Amino acid sequence: MRLPPDSRRRLELAARVAAIALIAWMVVRALAPTARVEIDERSDSRSLGAALAQWTLAPVPTSVHLSLTQAPNARDRDWLRALGRAGVRVTWTGDSIAATVIEVAARTDPAGGVHAYVSAPAGSRATLSDAVGLLDSVAIGSGVNALTVPIASGALDLGARGEHARAAPPDSVLPRQIVVLGQAGWEGKFAIASLQERGWKVSSRLRVAPGIFATQGTPLPLDTSRAGVVVVLDTSAAAYAGAITAFERNGGGVVLAGNSALAPALRALAPGRIGARVPAASLSFASATPRRALGFYPIVSLAADAVALESRDGRVAAAARRVGAGRVVQLGYDETWRWRLAGSGDAPAAHRDYWSAVVSAAAYRATAPTGASIADAAPLASLYAALGPPTVSRAPLAIVGARLPWWMLALLAALLLGEWGSRRLRGAR
Amino acid sequence: MSTFTFATAQYESGDWDSAPLVPPNIIDTIARYTEIEVNPTGAVVSLASPDLLRYPLVFLTGHLPVRFTDAERRQLREFLDRGGMLFVDDHNHDIDGVFHKTATEELVRTIGAPVLLPNSHPLFSSFFHFPDGPPTTTQELNGWGDNLVHKNLFAVVREGRIAVLYSSKDYSSEWGYHPENKRFQSVDNTRFAVNIVVYALTA
């Protein structure tokens, strides 16, 4: 049935008006949504991945809430943070999440390895793993628990109560040689021996007679590219004070042992002045504190920036400070060799560890990067940082203006095509 | 800083005190050539005593058979394990003599067999230079003892350091005179003792 031309034009006009009105309505709806639909959504730790994908697509929620039993991984946490930055209010609850933290630092030790500082709920049993597998398990005490890991491959993983914290491997420390300067004597001999037995490379220049030195390796010139620490045994090394000071200010470590800080040229570096020598407090090394059987020079008048490392009967026996870019450790002891020889038990090993710890504390740390690695050292703390503290009650959820229905586009297309087809069929342009 | 004390080992068998003038002579030599702070009196220490661990360099000599007691062996082993150095000199200058045979047997039982020490070892250049190795003694040249000039010393080396230095050269006789008599010598024959002490203190 053919419609009269007027009716046909009226229908075409109506279709055109309807299409324009529909377009205008869609534009207005898109720009100024008015419809708000309350959606009671929730997600937990298991379905978080899928929920994130859903929430990222339109319709984008104005707020989401998570009821967590585990801290989200770094990827999901970053995703949630991005949602938050995009205007979505993200809230969470998760009282049962165990707080786990791990921090690692390379050991300045020829044997390598790392120090791991871990924390987890006190009383829990934690596991420490690396890329290869399980390394150790540890009963967690309160506060920070320190562990030494001789060999670690890749990131370290701390697991406790289902939570995992991961720390990237620290940069490798490149141990430099130790330089020992001073008078020939038993202290120098056994300090060198213990350091070498512990794996340190040691060069030394020990004065034997005026102008005559017993030299091992290449101790001089002092340079942080070659040496990490210089151990000054006594005042005879004052001849090198200028080089030692420059070395220290450039980042090198200095150990001032015995009475070496009496040398005026080295006094400026020392954490403190030296007092009158104190005799041994004990005749026997067979105690928990064997160094009580050693005499020492007490360190008095500590500099304001110095830190006491070891005290004996109220007197400071070891102290440290930072000067310039380097560190200075001052030891009051001048006869630790007696401990190595006459100490009870495995005194040589204890002496080796002691001297290694002393030079490690002062050593210049040249590092080599081990490569990037994904780390998540404190998942719960990172969750707080990303999303703020947990909310007590879950906020009602709403989503912005529902998506435009598909039929609206089909209707628009039908109106426009119908109007256009009708005009063309009747010969109009 | 610790004062260096020259210590002589006392052991139950044999004649440990057969060279009483060696310690004062070496002490004199150390004081004469170096600025090492040296104890003027020296010390005598029993091999079985824990006091052995107070003297990281100990001199042992004698003519007679050496048989360590269990306590001496145990203490000496401890001393050497901890880094002490024992200098043994055969006062007989006789590799077929009883001291040499028994002392080396005891060393083998205690720490291991001494091996030939090359004459290029740092010991021979630690202070004075002895490019030909250990200096020859008058006793060797006079044909006493085994009638041999020993070209080398022997040593037990641990961790790259000499733990036991063994001499068949009879330095106990060579150095056994009053220090004042050095003025009659054109070349001081105790100079090698300085090398031993400096090596012990620095290597």
pLDDT tens-digit readout, B87-125: 999 999 999 999 999 999 999 999 999 999 999 999 999
β-strands B57-62, B153-158: how paired?
unpaired
Write the CATH number for B21: 3.40.50.12140
**pLDDT given for residue A400 in this prediction:** 43
Searching chain B, which residue's CA lies closest to the CA of residue A194?
A: B83
- Residue A108 to chain B, least CA–CA distance (Å): 23
- Residue B201 and residue A206: Cβ atoms within 8 Å? yes
Q: CB–CB of A357/A349 below 8 Å? A: no
Q: CB–CB of A230/A255 below 8 Å? A: yes
CATH 3.90.1460 fits A101-171+369-377, yes or no: no
Q: Is the pLDDT of residue A276 over 60?
A: yes
For chain A, say whether B161 makes contact (Cβ under 8 Å). Answer: yes
- Residue B35 and residue A347: Cβ atoms within 8 Å? no
* Calpha distance B18→B61 (Å, rounded): 7
Cis, peptide link before residue A221, omega less than 30° from 0: yes
- Residue A187 and residue B201: Cβ atoms within 8 Å? no
Q: Least CB-CB distance to A197: which of B50, B127, B159?
A: B159
Assess if residue B61 is contained within a domain: yes
Work out the pLDDT band at A34, boundaries 50, 70, 90: very low
Assess if residue B84 is contained within a domain: yes
Searching chain B, which residue's CA lies closest to the CA of residue A190?
A: B83
Q: CB–CB of B10/B16 below 8 Å? A: yes
| Two structure tokens written together for A313 | 């009967």
Q: Least CB-CB distance to A334: which of B1, B37, B126?
A: B1
For chain A, say whether B53 makes contact (Cβ under 8 Å). Answer: yes
pLDDT in tens, A178-209: 999 999 999 999 999 999 999 999 999 999 99
Searching chain B, which residue's CA lies closest to the CA of residue A342?
A: B53
Query: Residue B73 is part of which domain span?
Result: 7-202
* Calpha distance B4→A95 (Å, rounded): 68
- With contacts defined as CB-CB under 8 Å, which chain A residues touch B50? 342
Work out the pLDDT band at A148, boundaries 50, 70, 90: confident
- With contacts defined as CB-CB under 8 Å, which chain B residues touch A187? 1-2
Work out the pLDDT band at A105, boundaries 50, 70, 90: confident
**pLDDT given for residue B125 in this prediction:** 97
DSSP single-letter state for residue A211: T
Compute CA distances A214 → A180, A211, A267, A324, B87, whole Å. Answer: 11, 10, 26, 31, 20
Assess if residue B1 is contained within a domain: no
β-strands A227-232, A177-183: how paired?
parallel
Question: Which sign, positive or negative, has the C-alpha torsion B185, B190, B194, B195?
Answer: positive
* Chain A residues interacting with chain B (CB cutoff of 8 angstroms): 183-190, 193, 196-197, 204, 206-210, 212, 214, 216, 233-234, 258-259, 334-335, 337-338, 340-342, 347-348
Give the number of domains in chain B: 1
Q: How high is the mean pLDDT of chain A?
A: 87
**pLDDT given for residue A42 in this prediction:** 64
Q: Is A43 helix (H, G, I), strand (E, B) or coil?
A: strand
- With contacts defined as CB-CB under 8 Å, which chain A residues touch B202? 184, 188-189, 204, 206, 208, 214, 216
The beta-carbon contacts of B130-139 under 8 Å, at least 24 apart in sequence, are: B130/B192, B130/B195, B134/B167, B134/B169, B134/B192, B135/B189, B135/B191, B135/B192, B136/B169, B137/B93, B137/B169, B137/B170, B137/B171, B137/B173, B137/B174, B137/B189, B138/B173, B138/B174, B138/B189, B139/B93, B139/B169, B139/B170, B139/B173, B139/B174
- Which stretches within chain B are classed as H helix? 22-33, 70-81, 98-110, 138-141, 171-174, 191-202
What count of CB pairs under 8 Å joins A to B? 88
For chain A, say whether B49 makes contact (Cβ under 8 Å). Answer: no
- Residue A342 to chain B, least CA–CA distance (Å): 5
Work out the pLDDT band at A371, boundaries 50, 70, 90: low
| Two structure tokens written together for A107 | 């050991």
* First and final C-alpha spacing in chain A: 22
Burial of A7 (0-12, 13-18, 19+ CB in 10 A): exposed
Tokens 């091992």, residue located:
A216
| Two structure tokens written together for A89 | 């209010």
- Residue A214 and residue B2: Cβ atoms within 8 Å? no
- Residue B2 and residue A348: Cβ atoms within 8 Å? no
To which H or E segment does residue A245 belong? helix A241-249
For chain A, say whether B39 makes contact (Cβ under 8 Å). Answer: no
Q: Is the pLDDT of residue A58 over 70?
A: no
- Residue A259 and residue B82: Cβ atoms within 8 Å? no
* Calpha distance B127→A210 (Å, rounded): 12
- Residue B53 and residue A342: Cβ atoms within 8 Å? yes
* Calpha distance B93→B95 (Å, rounded): 7
- Residue B202 and residue A258: Cβ atoms within 8 Å? no
- Residue B126 and residue A183: Cβ atoms within 8 Å? no
Searching chain B, which residue's CA lies closest to the CA of residue A235?
A: B1
Q: Which of A117-126, A227-236, B50-59, B96-105 shows the lowest mean pLDDT across its residues?
A: A117-126
Higher pLDDT, B9 or A76: B9
For chain A, say whether B109 makes contact (Cβ under 8 Å). Answer: no
- Residue B141 to chain A, least CA–CA distance (Å): 32
Tokens 């297309």, residue located:
A413
Assess if residue B2 is contained within a domain: no
For chain A, say whether B203 makes contact (Cβ under 8 Å). Answer: yes
Q: What's the whole-number mean pLDDT along residues A249-259?
A: 95
Higher pLDDT, A284 or A134: A134
DSSP A126-174: EEEE-SSSEEEEEE--SS-EEEEES---S-EEEEETTEEEEEPPPPEEE
> Which of residues 178 through 197 in chain B touch A, CB cutoff 8 A?
none
Searching chain B, which residue's CA lies closest to the CA of residue A216?
A: B203
- Residue B176 to chain A, least CA–CA distance (Å): 25
For chain A, say whether B80 makes contact (Cβ under 8 Å). Answer: no
* Calpha distance B180→B193 (Å, rounded): 16
Question: pLDDT over 90 for what percent of chain B?
Answer: 93
Instruction: Compute CA B119 distance to the chain's CA centroid, rounded to the nearest angstrom.
Output: 17
- With contacts defined as CB-CB under 8 Å, which chain B residues touch A341? 53-54, 56, 79, 82-84
- Residue A189 and residue B4: Cβ atoms within 8 Å? no
- Residue A341 and residue B35: Cβ atoms within 8 Å? no
Work out the pLDDT band at A407, boundaries 50, 70, 90: confident
CATH topology assigned to domain A173-368: Rossmann fold (3.40.50)
Closest CA to A232 of A353, A323, A334, A312: A334
Q: CB–CB of A370/A169 below 8 Å? A: yes
Q: Least CB-CB distance to A258: which of B1, B34, B37?
A: B1
- Residue A348 and residue B161: Cβ atoms within 8 Å? no
Work out the pLDDT band at A373, boundaries 50, 70, 90: low
A345: left (phi over 0), alpha (psi -120 to 50) or beta: left
DSSP A307-376: EEEEEETTEEEEEEEEETTEEEEEE-BS-HHHHHHH-SSSHHHHHHHHHHHHHHHH---EEE-------B
Question: pLDDT over 70 for what percent of chain B?
Answer: 100
Q: Least CB-CB distance to B83: which of A190, A208, A214?
A: A190
Assess if residue B93 is contained within a domain: yes
- Residue B82 and residue A185: Cβ atoms within 8 Å? no
Work out the pLDDT band at A151, boundaries 50, 70, 90: confident
Question: Which of A51-60, A316-325, A386-395 is modeled with the greatest confidence?
Answer: A316-325
Q: Is B11 helix (H, G, I), strand (E, B) or coil?
A: coil
- Residue A383 to chain B, least CA–CA distance (Å): 53
For chain A, say whether B37 makes contact (Cβ under 8 Å). Answer: yes
